[in-house]
Amino acid sequence: MAEVLVYVDHVDGAVRKPTLELLTLARRIGEPVAVHLGAGADTAAATLAEYGAVKVLAADAPEFADYLVVPKVDALEAAYKAVSPAAVLVPSSAEGKEIAARLAVRIGSGIITDAVDLEAGDEGPVATQSVFAASYSTKSRVTKGTPVITVKPNSAAPEAAPAAGTVEQLAVAFGEQATGTKVVSRTPRESTGRPELTEAAIVVSGGRGVNGAENFPLIESLADSLGAAVGASRAAVDAGWYPHTNQVGQTGKSVSPQLYIAAGISGAIQHRAGMQTSKTIVAINKDAEAPIFELVDYGVVGDLFQVVPQLTEEITSRKG
């Protein structure tokens, strides 16, 4: 059976959920071989094996952290040459897309980004994408070279399928470009203790209607009552009420949770682009004409300062 390379997204060996989704999807095409760069391969290997990795190709070097993107491309290219895979799957993060893009140029292969589903086809893997602010759904294939495909978070439910997951060292010779862009310093983001926005099963977002940073705790309390991540519209972010890392939409994160709750958000096309594929959509907005109501499964026309606290209280008391 053909092998499929899966690029592992992890924090010091703690494998992030989108990688487990990739392993699950990779099994539809072939045998997943995970590529783990940086520290923690031995820790990660157990999880990767549980989700179907037959092999874990591991490389660790300071270059991965000290220089931007290119060292990782060099390593993925080395893995590609070692394995001759049927496809290469990479998580659709900002960095993941850049790694995939450069690999595709290097190996002379076509690339598909932001797939939301993947199936085996007669002429290679078929990727489903959602385009034009999710108003269309397309099915595409790579027609030249080895398909390089980036896959969005929440595209599949991770399914365990234990395999060997043998760790093998991957030899990487860094090219001249590898040290071109130096990471001079790095300030890690403080953890909020809430789920990762793109991975969360539930997202609660606030917009201009929240009317001030001082009111965002209202959104956070609702999110916490549901174990949800917090999102924000660009209007709320531009006003400085919430960090840009939490922005949902075209120039922020694209989310696809089981449940998306929008409070005080009008539903502009650029916002919809980042949340329209959510399974269930709920909105609270005082304007009955707000375009967000065209998308909802359930909408409340009302003042969020009344509705949100009542909802939070009701959830908290029901959960007891």
Partner 1 sequence: MSLRIVVCVKYVPDATGDRHFAEDLTVDRDDVDGLLSELDEYAVEQALQIAEDADDAEITVLTVGPEDAKDALRKALSMGADKAVHVEDDDLHGTDALGTSLVLAKALEHVGYDLVISGMASTDGGMGVVPAMLAERLGVPQVTLLSEVKVEDGKVTGRRDGDAASEQLEAALPAVVSVTDQSGEARYPSFKGIMAAKKKPVQSLDLSDLGIEADEVGLDGAWTAVDEAAERPARTAGTIVKDEGEGGKQLAEFLAGQKFI
Judged by CB under 8 A, the chain residues 258 through 297 that form the site for partner 1 are: 258-259, 269-270, 280-282, 284, 288, 293-297
Binding mask 17-56 for partner 1 (x = CB under 8 A): ----------------------------------------
Note the maximum CA span of the chain: 61
DSSP state of 54: S
296 binds, among partner 1, ligand FAD, none (CB under 5 to 8 A by kind): partner 1
Closest distance to partner 1 from the beta carbon of 160 (Å)? 23
Provide the H-helix boundaries in 211-303.
216-226, 234-238, 269-272
Binding mask 164-183 for partner 1 (x = CB under 8 A): ------------xx--xxxx
Give the phi and the psi of residue 231 in degrees, each rounded to 5: -120, 175
Please choose, from the candidates 22, 6, 269, 265, the residue with its C-alpha nearest in 3D space to the C-alpha of residue 152.
Answer: 22
Is residue 297 within 8 Å of residue 274, measured between CB atoms? no
Closer to partner 1 by CB, 157 or 183: give it.
183
- Half-sphere exposure at residue 69, Cβ-oriented, CA atoms within 13 angstroms: 14
Q: Pick out residues in 299-318 that bind ligand FAD (CB under 6 A).
A: 303-305
Closer to partner 1 by CB, 165 or 231: give it.
231
Closer to partner 1 by CB, 55 or 272: give it.
272
> Between the CA of residue 16 and those of 141, 184, 268, what are the distances in Å?
26, 25, 31
* Bridge partners, residue 32, by sequence: 4
Among the candidate windows 40-48, 87-95, 155-163, 166-174, which touches partner 1 by CB under 8 A? 87-95
233 binds, among ligand FAD, partner 1, none (CB under 5 to 8 A by kind): ligand FAD
Q: Does 213 bind partner 1 (CB under 8 A)?
A: no
272 is in an annotated binding site: no
- CB count in 10 Å sphere of residue 104: 24
Q: Does 98 bind partner 1 (CB under 8 A)?
A: yes
271 is in an annotated binding site: yes
Please state, in angstroms and rounded to a whole number, the distance separating the CA atoms of residues 271 and 86: 36
Closer to ligand FAD by CB, 42 or 303: give it.
303
Closest distance to ligand FAD from the beta carbon of 102 (Å)? 25
Binding mask 200-239 for ligand FAD (x = CB under 6 A): -------xxx-----------------------xxxx---
The three-state secondary structure class of 219 is helix
Closer to partner 1 by CB, 163 or 250: give it.
250
Please choose, from the candidates 208, 262, 213, the residue with its C-alpha nearest in 3D space to the C-alpha of residue 236.
Answer: 208
> Between the CA of residue 245 and those of 189, 198, 240, 285, 301, what are the distances in Å?
10, 11, 12, 24, 28
What lies within 8 Å, CB to CB, of 176 at 6+ separation is none
* Bridge partners, residue 37, by sequence: 59
What lies within 8 Å, CB to CB, of 89 at 6+ separation is 4, 5, 6, 7, 22, 25, 26, 118, 149, 150, 151
Q: Which of 10, 55, 102, 271 binds ligand FAD (CB under 6 A)?
A: 271
Closest distance to ligand FAD from the beta carbon of 111 (Å)? 23
Please state, in angstroms and rounded to a whole number, the distance separating the CA atoms of residues 233 and 245: 11
305 binds, among ligand FAD, partner 1, none (CB under 5 to 8 A by kind): ligand FAD
- Going by the annotation, the residues of the binding site are 208, 233-234, 247-251, 264-271, 285
Which residues are near ligand FAD by CB under 6 A?
Answer: 207-209, 233-236, 247-252, 264-266, 268, 270-271, 274, 284-287, 290, 303-305
